[in-house]
Amino acid sequence: MFDLDCYDEKDCKNLNPQVLAFVGDGVYSLYIRHRVLLDENSKGRKLHARVTDFVKAKGQSDFIEKLLPLFTEDELSIYKRARNHKTLSQAKNANIVDYKRATGLEAVIGYLYLTKNFDRLNEILKLSIGENNEN
């Protein structure tokens, strides 16, 4: 991936959950865009529609249901902290439950990225698009 100066786990756990979600949102969006591009060589509008299915709060909220039982203790703690974090921002196109659950997922992705836990990050990202999934 990238050669980054990253946080250690302790520092990362102490970051504001919204910061972790901000980073995770970017990582998740880029991953999904890359995978969709590899799978479909379509026009921009069709690619955008396909990506949106994955990155919108409802899609992430649905995915987190399958992922929660697979989380480590640390990942679950970060997820819950981000999901329960009070925020003044509102979701544009999602209900509050889906928005908060998506924020929790993004925070976990941000945490894994910032701590350079790329093996685990890739495992979760592949599950998000149905790879390694037996459903």
Give the span between the Cα atoms of 42 and 76, in whole angstroms.
37
Question: Is 74 noted as a catalytic residue in this protein?
Answer: no
Q: How far apart are CA 105 and CA 103, in angstroms?
A: 5
Tell me the C-alpha distance between 129 and 26, whole Å: 16
Selecting among 25, 39, 62, 98, the annotated active-site residue is 25
Which residues are the active-site residues? 25
